[in-house]
């Protein structure tokens, strides 16, 4: 009996010594850090080509369309490696559950994406079929 008690005690000590909590960097309870807005301009392409961000930080990414073209913004690797809290379109909130395929603009307007990246890496974002016209950028996530 004492052998079993000793075994369980040692197992518990070993478990708590080996397992440590995983903590995200940053404070998730604070307001989202506002990234420079991304403007989609038919004449000039993206207004921002590179974002430098960190894992564990909560961000707000505003995307603004000039409305002169239809735009389908894709960021598949970023959207797969981030927790998307919400998408705000004209003060209406969308709470995605399974991820985002694309954000599409048919007219002039803006969309805010609130997200937190989980894994570091280099994640491209682009407008489908317009990458060679200046509609390609990257998130460098540390």
26-141: in CATH 2.60.40.420: yes
CB neighbour list of residue 18: distance below 8 Å, 6 or more residues apart: none
Please, what is the Cα angle at 113 between 57 and 37, to 5 degrees? 90
Each domain of the chain, given as residue ranges in start order, spans 26-141
If DSSP codes are grouped into helix, strand and coil, which group holds residue 74? strand
More confident residue, 23 or 121: 121
What is the model's pTM?
0.78
Average pLDDT of every residue of the chain: 85
Mean pLDDT of all residues in 8-34? 55
Mean pLDDT of all residues in 15-23? 42
Q: Using the structure block, give the residue that is written with the tokens 């709470």.
A: 95
């Amino acid at each position: 009996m004492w052998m079993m008690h000793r075994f369980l005690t040692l197992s518990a000590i070993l478990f708590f010594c080996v397992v440590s909590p995983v903590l995200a960097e940053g404070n998730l309870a604070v307001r989202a850090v506002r990234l420079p807005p991304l403007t989609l301009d038919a004449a000039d392409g993206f207004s921002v080509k590179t974002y430098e961000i960190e894992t564990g930080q909560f961000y707000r990414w505003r995307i603004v369309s000039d409305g002169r073209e239809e735009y389908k913004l894709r960021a598949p690797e970023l959207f797969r490696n981030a927790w998307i809290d919400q998408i705000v379109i004209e003060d209406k909130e969308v709470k995605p559950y399974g991820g985002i395929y694309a954000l599409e603009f048919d007219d002039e307007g803006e969309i805010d994406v609130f997200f937190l990246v989980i894994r570091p890496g280099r994640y491209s974002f682009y407008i489908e079929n317009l990458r060679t016209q200046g509609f390609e950028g990257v998130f460098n996530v540390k």
